[in-house]
Amino acid sequence: MSFQGSCLCGKITFAVTEFEPLIGHCHCTMCRKFHGAAFSTFADVKLKNFKWLSGEALLQSYQASNNTVRQFCQHCGSSLTFCSSYNNNDNTIEIALAAFDDDINISPDAHIYTDTKVTWLKLNDGLPQYRQYRDSTQGEK
């Protein structure tokens, strides 16, 4: 089975055949500013299960000071992927769930980086809330 997604203008399309179990709502400052929203939701996907279908040449990349890389459509600005050193070592890429064209039957499993969550958002969905990433040494909030 293949799940397809695209940017807002439809010039970039992609497909995913299988998701990894890590699917998080990220509340870090960079995700909030990049998406213009209270948080972003990304799913980990093995590179072997991800394929650009069209418009790959229209991808623009932004490398942040922490060496993470975010890709977006240079035409419409849609946020599509995120990649960190963890992803590079694990041969994964993180895909913005909101970019999928159809409803996909997966659910986020945690809120991460809640130390920088906006104050006007109340989290009451029962998901674990981690102050930083999922590292247990950071503890749950």
pLDDT of residue 138 exceeding 50: no
DSSP letter, residue 106: -
- At CA 122, angle to CA 86 and CA 42, rounded to 5? 25
3-21+41-104: CATH topology is 2.170.150
Q: Is 123 exposed, middle or buried (0-12, 13-18, 19+ CB in 10 A)?
A: middle
Whether 27 and 63 have beta carbons less than 8 Å apart is answered as: no
What are the beta bridge partners of residue 45?
Answer: 93
Query: Under a CB-based contact definition with an 8 Å cutoff, are residues 105 and 120 in contact?
Result: no
pLDDT, tens digit (0-9, with 9 covering 90-100), for 38-57: 999 999 999 999 999 999 99
In whole angstroms, what is the distance from residue 102 CA to residue 57 CA? 24
Structure tokens at 9: 């203008």
The helix/strand/coil state of 56 is helix
The residues spanned by each domain of the chain are 3-21+41-104
- In this prediction, residue 141 has a pLDDT band, given cuts at 50, 70 and 90, of very low
Average pLDDT score over residue span 13-24: 95
pTM equals 0.88
What is the DSSP annotation of 77-101? --EEEEE-HHHHHHTEEEEEGGGBS
Bigger pLDDT: 75 vs 136: 75
